[in-house]
Chain A
C-alpha cells in the first residue's frame, strides 16, 4: 500500500469523472477523509459550484451502542440538492454503512437527480449491497487490518493493525 501514489490516483479519478461534468454536478465529500479527497478533486476539475461536506454522525446506525461523537461537525451543503446530479466522495469504501448514512442524509436535504459514488480506495468487507461507481484502487486486507487516509496537507495512505 505504500506503493499507492495518492496524487496519481487522484488524477486518474479526475480523468474518469471529467465526462460527468457536462451534467453540471455538485460534489459532496464525507468528513473527514472524503472531504479531503473531494477538495482535491474539486480543485483538479475546477468545478463551478462550491463543494459540500457531510458529517454523518446523526445518521449512523450505531448511536444506541456507542453514542454521539463530541467532535461532530456541521454538515454544509451550500447548494440546493433538488434535481442536481451529485458526485459523492469518500476515502475508503468498506462495510458500506457510511454511504448508507450519507445517502439518507442527502435525501433529507432534497431529491437529487442522481448520485455517483467515487472512492479513493475500495476494500473488501462489504456488509450492505452498496458499490462504488468510480474507484481509485481496489485492495484486499487481512481481517485485523484497517486502511486510513492521513492529511489534510499531504494525503497519504496507511495500513494499521487493529487490536485483537
Chain B
C-alpha cells in the first residue's frame, strides 16, 4: 500500500534532516521521496502529521522477548506489539534464551517468529561461546550469515582471558562486532545494589564500582591487542565511561550504550527496598548518573537502550535480593530520552540519533534512517502531549517499572514497519 505522511516535522539525523515536509512511501514499503511527491504517485493512505514529529523507527539495542524458554513472562508476539506501540521498529535481542542462540537454526527461528507477527523486526545477537559457557568458541561466522548482528556472552562474561582473546580475534576476522557486558564475576557475585551509602544502610550486599572498571580495563586491553570492533553494553559507572572516552581518543573502535533508566535514577530511588529498582548493573550514585548523562552529551556514549526485561508480578513481590532484576523498558525508552531534551542535556536531533541512526550503525543494518530507498520503518509522535504512566495499562506483558506515576511529555501516534501501519494510537 502506498502511503503519504503530510505536514510532519521530519527529523532524520542520519541525513542531517530537520524540516517540515511530506514523506512518500511506495508499494514495496520503501521510502519513495521526501518533500515533493514522485511523478504519478497516488497515496492509498494519508496520515496527517500536523504538529507531529516524523522520525525513523526506534532501534532498541538490548531487549529481551523471553522466547524461547520463558514464555510465562512474555512472548515475541506480546513484546513486539509493545515495541511498536512505543515507536520501536527493531529489537536487538541477547542470546541468553533457552535454548541459547548459538546455532544458525536458532538465530533464524527467532527472526522468522518475529516476521510472522509482522510487528517489530528482531535482529538477534549470537552467542560468543557455545552455550554461553565461556569455554569454546561458537560458530560466529555462521551466526553472522544467519542474521546475527553481533556476538556476545550476555550476562556471563568470559572469565578465561585467553578464551576471550581468541573469541575477539575470531570475530575480528569476519568483521563481527562483539557486544561486551563489563562485569567481573567475583566482584559482582552475590550483590544486588551499588556498594555504597544506600546498600550499607539497607543491609544489602553491594556490587562495587570496581566490578565494572576491572572488566572494562581488561576488555579494553584485549580490544587493543586484537583490533576487534567492540560495543560496551549498559555501562553504569562514571569511572568506566571515562576509561572508554580515553580509549576512543586513542582511536580504539569502541562504542557504548546506557539504559534509559540509568540516565534518570540513582541508588537513592530504591527507597525502602523498592524491588522495581532492582536492576543489574545496579543503579549507582548520583555522581555516576551524572557522569553517564555527561557521556551521552559528549558522544562517548552514543546509544540509549531499554534493556527491556519483562517479568511476571511474582518476580518482584519478594524480599529485594530474592526479586528478579530488570525493568520492563520498551514503553519508557522514548519518553525518558525525550526528557533529556527537556532537561537541556541534549537536543532533539541527538536524542533521536541515540535511538535510531547510532544503534543502526552499530548493528550494521539499513534502518534508523529516512533515506530514499530505505525500508519505511517510521515513528510518528506528538512531542507536546502530557501523560502519566500507569503500569497496569502497559502493553508489554511485564508491568515491572520504577516509573509508575511519572509524568511524561511526548507519545507515539503512529508506527510503520516496512511501510505498513502497524500501530495507531487510539487517542
The answer on direct contact between A and B (beta carbons under 8 Å) is: no
